[in-house]
Structure 1
């Protein structure tokens, strides 16, 4: 299973998101610290889930980071997170 697929599965199982987008941005970081030639090191996650209702932005980020701790300890060098509750305006 790819890193991207593991991220998607983990977040889907834990958060039952209304919307989830996992983007591999590794190609944008070629030659930078933590980058590997095979990619899958830098990701952007956009997720909308009722699980985030009533949580601060920091708490939402902490939740996503905790769920993806294994990936962050291994192949993932950087993770950009946009986590929102369904009632919040804006993107994702």
Structure 2
């Protein structure tokens, strides 16, 4: 099972109404085909109701903790919403300073 699949499986425990896991590894230095190191997560769940942003991130990290370690996920961008906050689009990710410029 790929890291992406494992991350999706872990995040599904938060009962998302909407979940996107985007592998952004190709936009970072040292990328090679098949590399899984940088992910963007967009998750909408009632579980986040009443929680501050940092608490929402803590919930995501808690279910993904085994995947965030050397040799696994290096970076995880988290966009966590409750259903009434979700507008159908998350912010774009910034460009990595270490990606080769063409």
TM-score by length of 1: 0.86
In terms of fraction of residues, the more helix-rich structure is: 1
Superposed displacement of residue 47, structure 1: 0.3
TM normalised by structure 2 equals: 0.78
Who is 2:9 aligned against? 9
Secondary structure of the residue aligned to 1:73 is coil
Q: 1:53: Cα distance to partner?
A: 0.6
Alpha-carbon displacement from aligned partner over 1:41-82 (angstroms, at most 9, x marks no partner)? 000000000000111111001110111000002400000000
Structure 1 segments, 4+ long, off by >4 Å, are none
The number of residues matched between the two structures is: 88
Contact 2:26 2:32 in 1 (8 A): no
Q: What is the CA-CA distance between 1:88 and the residue it aligns to?
A: 1.5
CA–CA distance in structure 2, aligned partners of residues 2 and 23 of structure 1:
13
Q: Does the 8 Å CA contact 1:30/1:36 hold for their aligned counterparts?
A: no
Is the 8 Å Cα contact of residues 15 and 49 (structure 1) preserved in structure 2? Answer: yes
Q: What pairs with 1:57-76 in structure 2 (closer than 5 Å)?
A: 57-74=53-70, 75-76=72-73
Q: Which residues of structure 1 form unaligned runs of 5+? A: none
* TM-align CA RMSD: 1.6
